[in-house]
Amino acid sequence: MAAKKKHTVVVFTAPACSWCRRVKQYLKGHHVPFKEIDISRNTQAAKDIMRRTGQAGVPVLLIDNRPIVGFNKSVIDRLLDIKGHHDDH
């Protein structure tokens, strides 16, 4: 199920971070376009995340400029209007 309305989604990631991959996989599975920023290559982005969230960890999502720390599925679902489950087979 695609998101009902268009959202701006940015995902901050690190290369070895499995939760980051799961978040990206989840968004792709729901056909949600997003921009990815690798904080290991962008130290300023890492500082920005810490400033905005107070957290030193990824994944962090910005959904319509609202930060979500971690793969917080229920919040992500709510903000992106993802409901229940969908056919993928």
Partner 1 sequence: MIDIKFDGSGSPSSVTNKDFDVIILGAGPAGLTAGIYAGRSLLKTLIIEEKAVGGEAASTDAIENYPGFPDGISGFELTERMRQQAERCGARVLITSVKSVALGNTTKSVETDSGTFNARSVIIATGSSPRPLNVPGEETFKGRGVSYCATCDAPFFAGKDIAVVGAGNSGIQESIFLLNHVKSIAIVEFLPHMTAEKILQERIMKHENVSLHLNSKLLAINGTETVSSITIEQNETHKKQDLSVSGVFIYVGLDPNTALFSSSIALDEQGFIKTDDRLATNIHGVFAAGDVRRKILRQVATATGDGARAAFSAQHYLNR
Report the C-alpha gap between 62 and 45 in whole angstroms: 12
| Closest to partner 1 by CB, 6 or 51 | 51
| Closest to partner 1 by CB, 22 or 66 | 22
Report the C-alpha gap between 6 and 80 in whole angstroms: 9
- CB contact at 8 A, 12 and 58: yes
Query: Residue 20, interface with partner 1 (CB under 8 A)?
Result: yes
Per-residue interface string for the shown chain with partner 1, residues 33-72, x marking contact by CB under 8 A:
------xx--x--x---x---xxxxxx---------x-x-
| Closest to partner 1 by CB, 2 or 64 | 2
Report the C-alpha gap between 74 and 68 in whole angstroms: 11
- Which of these, 87, 78, 70, 61, lies nearest to 4 by C-alpha position? 78
Q: Would you tell me which residues interact with partner 1 (CB under 8 A)?
A: 14, 16-22, 24-26, 28-31, 39-40, 43, 46, 50, 54-59, 69, 71, 73-74, 84-89
